[in-house]
Structures are given as structure tokens and as C-alpha cells.
């Protein structure tokens, strides 16, 4: 009887997860169609919900320890963002627009989701590295991902505005240094925890990076868009290699 109840509960959980995933796909393609102007009036809540649902799926698909850790990292990233907006010394001086319109201390709340997604994506590249280089590889990948997302978010989606300009699509160099050094504590925590991403959480983060890459192509931001596509392809190649190694054991 207990086993039957457990099966029923598991089936209900799977149905909920599949429903959330399908809703996530609707939001993803809706964003792309809106950028192509096939959808004329995008609801103001849609961008917030896309990021929120994406991060929620990652947390649902991760084991309990990693989900708690990712949520904590998301909150830490949110604190970074507040300090960045208020004092302008972490990433450079910038302000958020009204694209993500649910804010706390002038920072969109969904930036918690953004940090969860990006960190999960970065972790999936290096989770099998067990030496001290892990702590440096993680921040380096975070910077590479920012080379993809930042121009597309600023120029394509107009999510935030830089007060100072730099050579890379108008983004100050200080921003990339900030990403690198502020990511080191995050990957120290991940190194200590020794947690691995799941297949499904990995797929979600890949889909989000793919979304930004497609938006980049639509807005003719070819270098960051192609870089994003290369990252996604490389991530899947690593995944295929990992799964082959597991099968051979």
C-alpha cells in the first residue's frame, strides 16, 4: 500500500515538473517571437516569470544540497547586485531599466534567478575537476558567459544601462574583473560541497543561454551570440563524454 502511495506521489511530482517545463518553453519561445515582433504586446510579467521559472526548474531538478547551495548563491549574487547599483565599485556604475519591474533596493528580484542559472551553467562545465584549479576555472567561465549575456542584455533587451562606457560593446572592463573576483567565493563553496548538476538542470541552463544567443542573433550582436552557441555546444559535448565514461564503468 505504501509503495502504491509513493508511486502516485512520484507521478504527481513528475506531472507538475513536466507542466512547469512546458510553461518555461512557452515563455522562452514567446520571448523569441516577441523579439521578432510576431507578438506585439508582451506582458510586463513575462520576462520576470521566464527567469523565475527557469531557476525554479533548476532547483527542482537538483539534489537537495545543491539546490540549497544554489539558492544561497543566488541571494549572495543579489547582494552583489545591490552593492553594485548603490556604490558602483563592484562591476562599474549601472542602473536597471523597467524590463524586470519587480525590484528590491533598485535591483530586480529575478537577479537571484539569473545568478542561479549562470552558476549552474558554469558548474556543469567543471564539476568533474577535483583539484584547486576548479576555484579559478569557475570564475573564468562566469566571465566568458558574461561576454555573452551582457551585450545582449544591455543592447538587445535593454535590461540595464551602463553609466560609463568600455571597449567591449560599451561595457566597462571593470565589470569583467568584478565578475571574476566576486565569483571566487562562490566556487570555493561549490568546491567544498562537491555537488554535481543533474541532466535536467543542465538542460534548463543551456536553454537560457541559447535564448540569449538567439536574441543576440536577432539584434545582430553576432560575436556574443555565436560565443553563446559555442558554449552550449561545448557543454553538450562534455555531457556526452561524461555519460559515455559512466556507461563504460
pLDDT tens digits for 112-150?
A: 999 999 999 999 999 888 777 888 999 999 999 999 999
Q: For residue 2, name the pLDDT band (cuts at 50, 70, 90).
A: very low
pLDDT at 196 over 60: yes
pLDDT at 44 exceeding the cut of 80:
no
pLDDT at res. 10: 66
Which tens digits make up the pLDDT trace of 205-233?
999 999 999 999 999 999 999 999 999 99
| Percentage of the residues of the chain whose pLDDT score is greater than 90 | 57
* Average of per-residue pLDDT across 14-30: 89
Name the residue among 99, 131, 92 with its Cα closest to residue 114: 99
pLDDT exceeds 60 at position 8? no
Which three three-digit cell numbers place residue 194? 562537491
DSSP the chain: -HHHHHHHHHHHHHHHHHHHHHHHHHHHHHHHHHHTTSSSS--TTHHHHHHHHHHHHHHHHS-HHHHHHHHHHHHHHHHHHHHHHHH--SS-SEEE-SSS--EETTEETTHHHHHHHHHHHHHHHHTT--STTHHHHHHHHHHHHHHHHHHIIIIIS--EEESS--TBTTB-HHHHHHHHHHHHHHHHHHHHHT----HHHHHHHHHHHHHHHHHHHHTT-HHHHHHHHHHHHHHHHHHHHHHHHHHH-
Backbone dihedral angles phi then psi of residue 52, each to the nearest 5 degrees = -60, -45
* Residue 236 binned pLDDT confidence (cut-offs 50, 70, 90): very high
Q: Which of 56, 19, 48, 18 is nearest to 31 (CA)?
A: 48
Lowest mean pLDDT among 27-31, 46-50, 240-244: 240-244
Mean pLDDT of 144-162: 92
The whole-number average pLDDT for the span 33-46 is 82
Q: How confident is the model at residue 99 (pLDDT cuts 50, 70, 90)?
A: confident
Amino acid at each position: 500500500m505504501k509503495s502504491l502511495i509513493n508511486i502516485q506521489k512520484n507521478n504527481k511530482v513528475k506531472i507538475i515538473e513536466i507542466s512547469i517545463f512546458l510553461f518555461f518553453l512557452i515563455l522562452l519561445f514567446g520571448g523569441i517571437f516577441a523579439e521578432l515582433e510576431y507578438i506585439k504586446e508582451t506582458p510586463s510579467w513575462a520576462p520576470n516569470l521566464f527567469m523565475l521559472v527557469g531557476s525554479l526548474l533548476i532547483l527542482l531538478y537538483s539534489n537537495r544540497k545543491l539546490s540549497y547551495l544554489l539558492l544561497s548563491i543566488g541571494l549572495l549574487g543579489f547582494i552583489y547586485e545591490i552593492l553594485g547599483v548603490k556604490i558602483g565599485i563592484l562591476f562599474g556604475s549601472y542602473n536597471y531599466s523597467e524590463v524586470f519591474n519587480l525590484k528590491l533596493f533598485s535591483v530586480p528580484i529575478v537577479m537571484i534567478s539569473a545568478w542561479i542559472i549562470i552558476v549552474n551553467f558554469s558548474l556543469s562545465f567543471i564539476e568533474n575537476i577535483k583539484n584547486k584549479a576548479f576555484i579559478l576555472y569557475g570564475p573564468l567561465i562566469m566571465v566568458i558567459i558574461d561576454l555573452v549575456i551582457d551585450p545582449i542584455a544591455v543592447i538587445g533587451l535593454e535590461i540595464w544601462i551602463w553609466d560609463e562606457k568600455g571597449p567591449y560593446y560599451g561595457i566597462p572592463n571593470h565589470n569583467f574583473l568584478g565578475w571574476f573576483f566576486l565569483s571566487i567565493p562562490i566556487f570555493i563553496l561549490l568546491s567544498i560541497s562537491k555537488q554535481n548538476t543533474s541532466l535536467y538542470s543542465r538542460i534548463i541552463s543551456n536553454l537560457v543561454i541559447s535564448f540569449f544567443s538567439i536574441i543576440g542573433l536577432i539584434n545582430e550582436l553576432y560575436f556574443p551570440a555565436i560565443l553563446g552557441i559555442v558554449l552550449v555546444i561545448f557543454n553538450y559535448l562534455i555531457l556526452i563524454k561524461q555519460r559515455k565514461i559512466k556507461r563504460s564503468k
